[in-house]
Amino acid sequence: MADMSFETIWTDTLSLIEKELGEDEYAMWFSGLKFSRADDKSITVRAATKFLKDQLTHKDYISYIETKFHEISGKNIELDIETGGKTTGKLGTGRGEVKTGDKPAPAIHKKEKQANPHLRPEFNFDTFVETANNTFVINAANAISKNPGLAYNPFLIFGGVGLGKTHLMQAIGNYIYSHTDLTVICVTAEEFTNEFIEYVGAHTGKNRMKEFTNKYRHADVLLIDDIHLFSTNAKDTVNELFYTFEALRKANKQMVFTCDRPVQELKNLTERLVSRISQGLTVEINPPSYEGRIAILKRKLFDKQKTVPEEIIELIARNVSSNVRDLEGALEKIIAYNDLVGQAITLEIAQQQLKDILSPIKQVNITLDLLLRVVADYFALSINDLKGKKKSQTIVLPRQLGMYIARQITEYSTTEVGEYFGGRDHSTVISACNKIAERKKADP
Ligand code: ADP
Ligand code: MG
């Protein structure tokens, strides 16, 4: 028998994988791969997105595919994956132009399009700051925007309040809406429920159910926000959601959901719906780190064309760590004060303005200035004594005590504290803290 062609090996491998892993897993990870070329010992395929390539590598699907090559052909064939360029096949089904690449391209205005009333234009990829903690979810959202219905369907973003779930979901909607002619519907769970109740019209006596199903089951892209808020009592609504889901899934229409917990923990949805959703791609969105918070604050200031002193940005970033909405709220408050009073805001004023937001546990709203003043007053010294170079015991002990207290009750780093105490090194601060801690044991 003549040698199998490499392209045949590839298609046979795909069929084998589909049989082994099942339709859903196959559709999610393998349908976006297209045969590109081959030489004696390797097959090169093209992934629809870089995200897909990264995920295949990350999940170790590559060696899995290579074992299948061997099973099919009896040869050791390596798999190479490339990205970019034009993909053929299911991608770009004509209606919506599909792009590949890493970042969404700027919107092409084929014709002047009216704003989509369901979407807030400011929630787009451009205004969403990438931080170390959200790279994965952003990449997934980008991949979906460029290959709606084909990349990862359904897609669920879950995480705590104010972390950017709605923003990112709408960014997908905005991207698709401005780059294609696809119909994008974006609603909250509550809106979906209310609309369902209204159309079914128990109170009006008019059953306009058909209109409802026409609208939702013929959407190209359906985005539903906060699916944990479907009421446990709204059984009919949830059933209707399930049928909508099934219709859209069969037609390869993209669905994106957000919710505040892992989907398995949703008690308000039926088991079958939960199980369908968990077959898609589910990604958690995490709170940003300190550096991420600084980056977000700076970006917001840039967008609003405002400036605020660095130390105030740091004050906010240090204290508001749980969610981005509160971070924005704190910044808004400072900006509003600035605008109203019309003068540059000082750290003291900022602390005053933000006192109900600032963390009550770590008293970081105590500035080093204030702390030093208290210590100096207590020992009847001057601030300059504490910051200065004098080495007499009457000054060294209070100085060390000041450093120790600063480390205990503020979140300033040893470097920052050292810098403040007359430009000393962080190791000086560490050794001061150790000395005081030692002494405390003997002298409470
Ligand atoms: P959620 O839906 O998770 O409760 P939202 O999407 O409403 O949160 O986000 C809350 C606010 O924080 C919005 O104004 C949003 O623009 C902003 N936000 C969240 N994450 C980011 C980010 N990474 N970059 C820029 N803004 C963000
Ligand atoms: Mg939200």
For residue 122, the ligand 1 atom closest to its alpha carbon is 16
Predicted confidence (pLDDT) at residue 86 exceeds the cutoff of 50: no
Tell me whether residue 443 is exposed, middle or buried, using C-beta atoms within 10 angstroms of its C-beta: 0 to 12, 13 to 18, 19 or more.
exposed
Digit-coded pLDDT (tens) for 179-223: 999 999 999 999 999 999 888 865 555 678 888 999 999 999 999
Q: Give the global pTM.
A: 0.66
Mean pLDDT of 33-50: 89
- Lowest mean pLDDT across 168-177, 249-258, 360-369, 426-435: 360-369
The tokens for 443 are 């002298």
The tokens for 306 are 């405002």
> What's residue 341's pLDDT?
84
> What's residue 112's pLDDT?
62
Ordered by where they begin, the domains of the chain are 3-83 (3.30.300.180), 132-284 (3.40.50.300), 290-358 (1.10.8.60), 368-442 (1.10.1750.10)
The tokens for 202 are 């128990």
- Lowest mean pLDDT across 199-208, 270-279, 317-326: 199-208
The tokens for 63 are 């060696």
> What's residue 359's pLDDT?
55
3-state secondary structure the chain: CCCCCHHHHHHHHHHHHHHHHCHHHHHHHCCCEEEEEECCCEEEEEECCHHHHHHHHHCCHHHHHHHHHHHHHCCCCEEEEEECCCCCCCCCCCCECCCCCCCCCCCCCCCCCCCCCCCCCCCCCCCCCCCCCCHHHHHHHHHHHHCCCCCCCCEEEECCCCCCHHHHHHHHHHHHHHHECCCEEEEEHHHHHHHHHHHHCCCCCCCCHHHHHHHHHCCCEEEEECHHHCCCCCHHHHHHHHHHHHHHHHCCCEEEEEECCCHHHCCCCCHHHHHHHHCCEEEECCCCCHHHHHHHHHHHHHHHCCCCCHHHHHHHHHHCCCCHHHHHHHHHHHHHHHHHHCCCCCHHHHHHHCCCCCCCCCCCCCCHHHHHHHHHHHCCCCHHHHHCCCCCHHHHHHHHHHHHHHHHHCCCCHHHHHHHCCCCCHHHHHHHHHHHHHHHHHCC
**CA separation for the pair 120, 222 (Å, rounded):** 15
Predicted confidence (pLDDT) at residue 414 exceeds the cutoff of 80: yes
CA of 225 to the centre of ligand 2 (A): 7
When computed from its CA atoms, the radius of gyration of the chain, rounded to whole angstroms, is: 29
**Residue of 356 and 307 predicted with greater confidence:** 307
In which band, very low, low, confident or very high, does the pLDDT at 342 lie, cut at 50, 70 and 90? confident
Digit-coded pLDDT (tens) for 354-398: 887 775 544 445 678 888 888 888 888 988 899 998 888 899 999
Cβ of residue 221 lying under 6 Å from some atom of ligand 1 = no
> What's residue 61's pLDDT?
85
> What's residue 3's pLDDT?
64
CA of 67 to the centre of ligand 1 (A): 43
> What's residue 367's pLDDT?
78
Cβ of residue 293 lying under 6 Å from some atom of ligand 1 = no
Contact in structure between 144 and 151 (CB atoms under 8 Å): yes
Cβ of residue 105 lying under 6 Å from some atom of ligand 1 = no
Digit-coded pLDDT (tens) for 215-254: 999 999 999 999 999 998 889 999 999 999 999 999 999 9
Cβ of residue 166 lying under 6 Å from some atom of ligand 1 = yes
CA of 134 to the centre of ligand 2 (A): 16
The tokens for 283 are 């990604």
CA of 409 to the centre of ligand 1 (A): 30
- Backbone φ, ψ for residue 296 (5° rounding): -65, -45
Predicted confidence (pLDDT) at residue 148 exceeds the cutoff of 90: yes
Mean pLDDT of 421-429: 90
Predicted confidence (pLDDT) at residue 87 exceeds the cutoff of 60: no
Cβ of residue 129 lying under 6 Å from some atom of ligand 1 = yes
For residue 328, the ligand 1 atom closest to its alpha carbon is 12
Closest CA to 41 of 15, 82, 70: 70
**CA separation for the pair 255, 238 (Å, rounded):** 16
Q: What is the mean pLDDT of the chain?
A: 86
In which band, very low, low, confident or very high, does the pLDDT at 101 lie, cut at 50, 70 and 90? very low
Q: Quick one: residue 178, left, alpha or beta (phi over 0 = left, psi -120 to 50 = alpha)?
A: alpha
**CA separation for the pair 369, 242 (Å, rounded):** 60
| Omega before 360 within 30 of 0, i.e. cis | no
> What's residue 321's pLDDT?
87
The tokens for 322 are 């749980």
CA angle 57, 127, 282 (to 5 degrees): 40
